[in-house]
Structure 1
Amino acid sequence: MIADLPDCTTRDISKALVRLRSQVGAVTLGRVMTLIVVTDEDNADAAVDAAAEASREHPSRILALVRGSGRTASRLDAQVRVGGDAGVSELVVMRSFGELASHAGSVVTPLLLPDSAVVAWWPGEGEKDLAGSSVGMLAGRRITDVSLAPGPRRALRVRADNYSPGDTDMAWSRTTRWRALLATALDQMPFESVQSVTVKGASDSASADLIAAWLGVRLRCPVERIDGPAGVGLMSVRLDRASGPIVLERAAETSQATLTQPGQQPRPFPLPRPTTAQALSEELRHLDKDEVYRRALKHLDLAGAARK
C-alpha cells in the first residue's frame, strides 16, 4: 500500500506509517535495522529498488533521502510504502528541497526505529567525511559504492584518507567470493609460502585494488596490479609458489571462473559479478566494524609502484 504526502512533516510521515500498517496488518517486530539511503534524483529509483530487494533478507525500515534543489523554498515531499509495495520492509522515500536538503540528519531522526541498528548507504562515493556528516553520525555502519563514482579508484583513495571505524564500501563485498576461493586453495597441500601475487582487473576496478592490498597484507609478499579494459571488473588472481602457481581467472563478460592448481584438474566455479542489491545485502550481514577491510584500505597503493 502506498501513500503520497506532498509538502509534509515527519509527524505526517509517522502517522501515515501507523495508518498503513493498521490497514495491511503489518507489524514492526521483524525489523532488524533502519537503513538510510542518501542519494540524488538521478540514482533514486535504482537505489530504492536495490534497498527493497536487499531488505528481503534483512527486514528494515528504509528511509530514502533524495536531495532536491537547494535554491527553492524549503519543502519535504514523501511517499510511504508498506506491505507488498515495500517488500518485507517499510519504505519511506523523502524528497527535500531548499534549506531542508542540507539537514538530512534532522529529517530522518524522528523516523528511526527505536533500539535497533542504524545503517547508512550512499550509492556512490558519498561525502568526504562520512562519519562526520549529519546522517553518518546517526549510523554505526556507513556504506558507500565507489564503483558508481566517476573515478572509482580516486574515490577509493578518498575513502582511505577519511576512514572511520564503521565505514565500508561495496567494492569490498564484491570480493567476498574471490577471497573465499583463494583462502580455500591456500588451505590445501602443499602448505608453501606465496612468493608473489599478480592481480589483474579493469583499470577502473576498485575491487581489484582492494583484493591486491588484502593479499599483500595477508601474504606479506610483492603484489603486482595489472590493468585490463575498463568496465570488466576483477579478472584474475595469480599466487606464485615453489610448486607452481594458483590461478583464479574469470573470463571477460561471463560469470564463470576457473581455479587452476598444480597437480589438479582445472575446476570451474560460478563467479558472477554481484548486483548492487546482492552487494548491499552482503554488507548488511555484518554490522560490526570490519578490521580486515580497514587494513586492506590502509595498504592501498593506487600510485602503483608495482602496476602495469
Structure 2
Amino acid sequence: MNIDLTDTTSSQINSGLVRARRASGSPAVGMVLTLVIVTDEGNHYDALKAASEASKEHPARILVVIKRPGRSPREKAAARLDAEVRVGGGAEGAGTGETVLLRLHGELAAHAYSVVLPLLLPDAPTVVWWPGEAPAHPADDLLGTLAQRRITDAATAEDPVGALGSRAAVYAPGDTDLAWTRITPWRSVLAAALDQKDATITGASVEGEEYNPSAELLGMWLTERLAVPVERRISDGPGITAVRLATADGVICLDRPDGSLAKLAVPGQPDRHVALHRRATAELIAEELRRLDPDEAYAHAVRVGVGRLQAPAAPVPEAVAEDGGS
C-alpha cells in the first residue's frame, strides 16, 4: 500500500505508517533495524532498490532522506516535507518491511535529524548509509550520531583513493565503507590459501584498476596482516584482477582477469578455480547489516594509509603474468 503525504510532519507520517500497516495486514513486529539512506533525487532509486533486496534478509524500516534545498533564495525559504509511505510486499520498493521516502525542501533540508528521529523504530538499532557523497566526518554528522553503523562508499567520491585517507583520519567505531565490503571474498580465499600452505610470506602485490579503492584497501590489509612490503600494480580491470604472495617455494597467485572466475595457484598443489564474481550493491548492504558491532579489521586496514603501498620497481615479466593464469 502506498500513501502520499504533501506538506506533512513526522507525526502524520507515523500515523500513515499505522494506517497502511492495518490496511495491508502487515504487523509492525519482525523488523530488526532502521536503515536510513541519505541520497539525492537522481540516485535514490538504485539505492532504494538495493536496500529493498537486502531487507529480504534483514527486515527493516527504510527511511530515504532526499534533500532538495533549492537553488534560489525564494526556493530555499519554502520549507516543506513531502513523504511517500510504502508498506507491504506489493508496494513498489517496500521490501519486506516499511519504506518512507522523505523529500526535504528548502531550509528543512538542513534539519533532517529532526525529521528522522521520530520515525526510528523504538529499541532497534539504526544504520545510516550514504550511497553517494558522504559527510567529511560521518560519526559527527547529526544523522550519523543516531546510528550504530555508518556506511560510506569511497568508490563514488571524486578521488576514491584520497577518500580512504579521509576515512582513516576521522574513523570512529561503527564506521565502514563498501570498498572494504567488496574485498571480503578476496580476503577469505587468501586466508584459506595461507591456512593450507605453511610458508613465510616475503612480499606481495595487488593488481587492479588505477583508482579502485578496494584494491588499495586490499593492499593495506595485506600490509597490516603480513607485515611485508606490498606493491600496487595497475591493470585494466575490471576491479581487482590479481593478488600475488611471494614465498620461498614460489608465488601464491589469485588471478581474476574477467571479474567473475578466479584461479588460485599454490606451489605444490593443483590449480583451483574459485567463484569470485563482482557483487551487486544489495549483496554488499546485506553483508554489512549482518553485524552491527565495530569492524576492527577495517579500522586496522584503513589506518595503514595508502602511502604505505609501493609502486613496482619494474614492469611485470611476461612469464610471471602467464603463471598467474591471465
- Bin for the TM-score computed over the shorter chain: over 0.9
1:90 aligned onto 2:98 = yes
Farther off after superposition, 144-153 or 255-264: 144-153
Q: Give the CA deviation at 1:305.
A: 5.7
- Aligned counterpart in structure 1 of residue 284 of structure 2, from 279, 284, 308: 279
1:144 aligned onto 2:160 = no
Give unpaired runs (5+ residues) of structure 2: 313-326
Match of 1:299 in 2: 304
Match of 2:14 in 1: 14
Match of 1:31 in 2: 31
Report the 3-state secondary structure (helix = DSSP H, G, I; strand = E; otherwise coil) of the residue aligned with 1:156. helix
Counterparts of 1:24 and 1:93 in 2: how far apart (Å)?
18
Question: Would you say the 8 A contact 1:4–1:79 is kept in 2?
Answer: yes
After the TM superposition, which residues 109-120 of structure 1 pair with which residues of structure 2 at under 5 Å, given as runs? 109-120=117-128
Report the 3-state secondary structure (helix = DSSP H, G, I; strand = E; otherwise coil) of the residue aligned with 1:116. coil
After the TM superposition, which residues 183-202 of structure 1 pair with which residues of structure 2 at under 5 Å, given as runs? 183-189=191-197, 191-202=198-209
Change (3 A) 1:82 1:305: closer
Counterparts of 1:210 and 1:304 in 2: how far apart (Å)?
11
Q: Give the CA deviation at 1:7.
A: 1.2
Change (3 A) 1:201 1:125: farther
Question: Would you say the 8 A contact 1:2–1:79 is kept in 2?
Answer: yes
Counterparts of 1:202 and 1:106 in 2: how far apart (Å)?
41
Letter matched to residue 109 of structure 1: L
Q: Give the CA deviation at 1:124.
A: 2.3
- Aligned counterpart in structure 2 of residue 211 of structure 1, from 204, 207, 218: 218
Normalised to the residue count of structure 1, the TM-score between the two structures is 0.96
- Aligned counterpart in structure 2 of residue 220 of structure 1, from 215, 224, 227: 227
Larger Rg belongs to: 2
Counterparts of 1:59 and 1:132 in 2: how far apart (Å)?
27
- Aligned counterpart in structure 1 of residue 83 of structure 2, from 72, 78, 86: 78
Match of 2:250 in 1: 244
Match of 2:295 in 1: 290
Report the 3-state secondary structure (helix = DSSP H, G, I; strand = E; otherwise coil) of the residue aligned with 1:110. helix
Counterparts of 2:281 and 2:157 in 1: how far apart (Å)?
14
Counterparts of 2:120 and 2:46 in 1: how far apart (Å)?
23
Match of 2:315 in 1: none
After the TM superposition, which residues 126-137 of structure 1 pair with which residues of structure 2 at under 5 Å, given as runs? 126-137=134-145
Q: Give the CA deviation at 1:201.
A: 1.0
Letter matched to residue 250 of structure 2: G
Q: Deviations over 1:150-204 (max 9, x none)?
A: 2211222211111111100011011111100000000014x11100010011111
Normalised to the residue count of structure 2, the TM-score between the two structures is 0.91
Question: Would you say the 8 A contact 1:209–1:300 is kept in 2?
Answer: no
1:40 aligned onto 2:44 = no
Letter matched to residue 234 of structure 1: I
- Aligned counterpart in structure 2 of residue 268 of structure 1, from 243, 265, 273: 273
Letter matched to residue 225 of structure 2: R
Give unpaired runs (5+ residues) of structure 1: none
Letter matched to residue 121 of structure 2: L
Counterparts of 2:136 and 2:35 in 1: how far apart (Å)?
20
Aligned Cα RMSD in Å? 1.2
Report the 3-state secondary structure (helix = DSSP H, G, I; strand = E; otherwise coil) of the residue aligned with 2:250. coil
Q: Give the CA deviation at 1:146.
A: 1.4
Identity across aligned pairs (percent)? 48
Question: Would you say the 8 A contact 1:125–1:155 is kept in 2?
Answer: no
Aligned residue pair count: 304
